[in-house]
Amino acid sequence: MKTQLHSTKKPLVSVIIPCYNHVMYLEEAVNSVLNSSYQQTEIIIVDDGSTDNSYTLAQELAERHPEKVSAFSQENSGPSVARNKAISLAKGTYILPLDADDKIGKKYIKQAIRLLEADDDIKLVYCEAEKFGKKTGRWKLRPFCRQSLAQDNMIFVSALFRKKDWAKAGGFDERMKWGWEDWEFWISLLKDGGRVKKLPCIGFYYRIHSISRRKSVTKQDKKSTIDLLNQKHAHFLQQHLHGPIRNPRSWSKFINKLILSLSFLSSYRLKRTSHSFVFEKHK
């Protein structure tokens, strides 16, 4: 639904950066936002109990850019807690999460805000992405649809959304300390409706390096994610997969349909057997 043109005053975008032991990358992430063509931004860094000098650097960046950057710290609690803390402090209408080891493109925020301001039905805007660091090249992302989102994460965490929608969705689930908290949040954000738009430009740069949190994810972490999603979003998964997420995830819809068919067939045969038994008993 198209809305009336908003005020000519540009809305504030709060870029929230959780940081854990990424002192070597943090300044690069912050600079990518400072160099954005959209200047109506604030940057909120929350250091998540780093054991290196990340928080010291965050404070230095805040002193260097007092009108743009603020720095906070917390005991190590995981990125969901850090993101929620930063968003709760945010003054912006719109939120852009950015991990401390990644970067955004110069035009990303400007183009995303243009879409969000033009249409209140759009809940989430993201873009094309590129890998850099130990591995380079285009990050091939599947076209968005809710059925695909039900099976696996397909949107990186650095997408733009409204702060009011974050509050309505209940924020990032703070139980998910092992990863995939962005996947769960997108389901929470979108399960009750709202459109998603992907910009055709490369606006996000995802760093590949040896200390990535993704590399430390275990089989038990993956199981914990699936169990949590199946419990928390059962209705959404029923709508789009006809049942829970299965292993392998890409087969979930097929497996659920097969189990449903076998269950129906078993029930039908049981009824036929029962009817035959009753008939013969009264013969």
17 with 89: CB under 8 angstroms?
no
CATH of 13-230, one of 3.90.550.10, 3.40.50.20, 3.30.70.1400, 2.40.170.20: 3.90.550.10
State residue 210's pLDDT score. 76
- Report domain extents, the chain: 13-230, 249-281
44 with 14: CB under 8 angstroms?
yes
Spatial distance between the Cα atoms of 68 and 271, rounded to a whole number of angstroms: 70
State residue 5's pLDDT score. 45
Q: For the chain, percent helix, then strand, then coil, each to nearest 5? A: 45, 20, 35
Closest CA to 190 of 244, 121, 140: 121
State residue 42's pLDDT score. 98
Residue by residue, pLDDT tens for the chain (283 residues) are 554 444 568 999 999 999 999 999 999 999 999 999 999 999 999 999 999 999 999 999 999 999 999 999 999 999 999 999 999 999 999 999 999 999 999 999 999 999 999 999 999 999 999 999 999 999 999 999 999 999 999 999 999 999 999 999 999 999 998 888 999 999 999 999 999 999 999 999 999 987 655 555 688 888 999 999 999 999 999 999 999 998 766 666 666 666 665 654 555 454 555 443 333 333 3
12 with 43: CB under 8 angstroms?
no
pTM: 0.87
Spatial distance between the Cα atoms of 170 and 73, rounded to a whole number of angstroms: 22
The residue whose two tokens read 């979003």 is 233
Cis peptide before 248 (omega within 30 of 0): yes
State residue 278's pLDDT score. 38
